[in-house]
Structure 1
Amino acid sequence: MDVSYHKGHARSLGRDMEYKRYGHAGRPVVVFPTSQGRFYQFEDSGGVGALAEFIDTGRIQLFTLDGIDSESFFNKHADAAHRIARHEAYFRYVREEALPELQAVAAKSNGGRPLKPLFCGCSMGGYHSSNFVFRFPELASGVISLSGVYSARDFFGRQLEGNIYFNSPLDYLPGIVDQKLLGRLRALRLIFCCGQGAWEERMLV
């Protein structure tokens, strides 16, 4: 399996960010880490190995991103405005810096043919991947979210002012009336999976 490591300065965040690429060709799959996870987490948890056949045969190539949850959603020492602003900066990094670079690499490996990426992640990564795709459907081919969280209330309580609201899918999705945007969302492949265990039982209460 072809594996490469990348590191560069992210203007949107004012710090270095890292990611790894697995594979030589195929549809790009962008993977967000779980809560406060890093770019190498998906490999360490067995995700890359589980997809080895698809990667080695050139059907997909993974791009596992770094995260900054400890600076945003899980930064209990900062106020809500700072935390959500930091998250918005992270999404700008993904949208304006990481994605163009990843797509250029993927297109080159596919004979110049651009392919919109599929986004995925587990737990907090499921939240980030689905929230990103819901907000920017024109940049994606779909999402696979595994046991994700879909409400910002889990992190900010009843506060849903400003950008907090626009990062809470269970709240903003029902309010979408723009038919063009709804058409884009309906054209995507949307796959949501949920495990069975103590965490899922707690979320159903």
Structure 2
Amino acid sequence: MTENYHTWQSSHLGREFEMLVFGHAGYPLILFPTSMGRYYEGKDRGLIDSVSWFVRNGRVRIYCPDGIDSLSWYNKEIHPADRARNHSLYDALILHEVLPRIEAETGHSRVAVAGCSFGGYHAANFAFRHPEKVAYLFSMSGLLDIRSRTDGHYDDNIYFNNPMDYMPDNSHPDLWRMGIVLGAAERDVTRGQNEQFSGILNNKSIQHWLDVRPDMVHDWPAWRQMLPHYLSLLKH
């Protein structure tokens, strides 16, 4: 399986940024790390191995960008407003630095995004903020309400990075042509949020699949089972 390491000086973060890319061809998938996770987490946790057939056979090319949670939502040393602002810089980095690289390498102007747990938040928030750039969302046990990381503070920047809040009023037409999967385990700390969010999508008549896996918990074995199934749904 082809594996390539990339690093560059991010103009948005003003620091070095790292990313691993797996595969030589196929539809591009951005795989976000979990809470405080790094760009190599998907490899170390066996998630990349779980979908190796798709990668080796040129069905998908997986981009694993680094995370900056320690500078944003998980940084208790700074004000919640600054956490949200730092996350917005990360969002801009993915949009303006990672996506152009992907399009140049694959020819695709829309991508698939995925993530587990807090990585599911990153995937969902990016997809719903930029539906013109995202064709598929595979959120696995994703956090969909960011207010647990804001210590009671609320402002516009938090609103526009909190899918549970902004999605009821989001009317971007590309939402209705996105393939959306909300995966959760039967005994999952995020199951309630995913069921609530599924209700928001239902109210907007946005097609999606709420996939609750029986006899499983919020952990890597569930996600290693989910991701190969979800990649089999790709039609590109």
Q: Is the 8 A contact 1:117 1:142 kept in 2?
A: yes
1:139-150 matches, within 5 Å, as 139-150=133-144
Residue 68 of structure 2: aligned partner: 68
1:76 and 1:195 map into 2 onto residues whose CA distance is 29
Residue 43 of structure 1: aligned partner: 43
Out of 116, 120, 124, the position equivalent to 1:122 is 116
Q: For residue 18 of structure 2, give the secondary structure of its aligned residue in structure 1.
A: strand
Deviation at 1:35? 0.2
Task: Point out 4+ residue stretches in structure 1 off by more than 6 angstroms.
Answer: 201-204
Scaled by the length of structure 2, the TM-score of the pair is 0.78
Q: Is the 8 A contact 1:39 1:66 kept in 2?
A: yes
Q: Is the 8 A contact 2:109 2:133 kept in 1?
A: no
Q: Cα RMSD between the aligned structures?
A: 1.6
Residue 5 of structure 1: aligned partner: 5
2:139 and 2:149 map into 1 onto residues whose CA distance is 19
1:74 and 1:95 map into 2 onto residues whose CA distance is 22
Deviation at 1:115? 5.1
Residue 94 of structure 1: aligned partner: 94
Deviation at 1:64? 0.5
Aligned residue identity for 1:194 = A
Q: Which moved more, 1:154-163 or 1:122-131?
A: 154-163
Q: Deviations for 1:85-139, whole angstroms, at most 9, x for unmatched residues?
A: 10001111110011101221123xxxxxx35210000001100001001000011
Structure with more of its chain in strand, by fraction: 2
Residue 110 of structure 1: aligned partner: none
2:148 and 2:94 map into 1 onto residues whose CA distance is 23
2:64 and 2:32 map into 1 onto residues whose CA distance is 6
Aligned residue identity for 1:14 = G
Residue 179 of structure 2: aligned partner: 189
Residue 131 of structure 1: aligned partner: 125
Q: Percent identity?
A: 35
Deviation at 1:158? 3.6
Q: Deviations for 1:174-204, whole angstroms, at most 9, x for unmatched residues?
A: 123x4xx1x2101000011001336347869
Change (3 A) 1:60 1:198: closer
Q: For residue 194 of structure 1, give the secondary structure of its aligned residue in structure 2.
A: strand
Deviation at 1:152? 1.6
2:191 and 2:182 map into 1 onto residues whose CA distance is 17
Aligned residue identity for 1:120 = A
Q: For residue 132 of structure 2, give the secondary structure of its aligned residue in structure 1.
A: helix
Q: Deviations for 1:151-185, whole angstroms, at most 9, x for unmatched residues?
A: 12121144331100111111111123x4xx1x210
Aligned residue identity for 1:166 = F
Residue 81 of structure 2: aligned partner: 81
Q: Is the 8 A contact 2:20 2:65 kept in 1?
A: yes
Residue 33 of structure 1: aligned partner: 33
1:200 and 1:14 map into 2 onto residues whose CA distance is 33
Change (3 A) 1:116 1:161: same
Deviation at 1:28? 0.4
2:131 and 2:137 map into 1 onto residues whose CA distance is 10
| Count of aligned residue pairs for this structure pair | 194
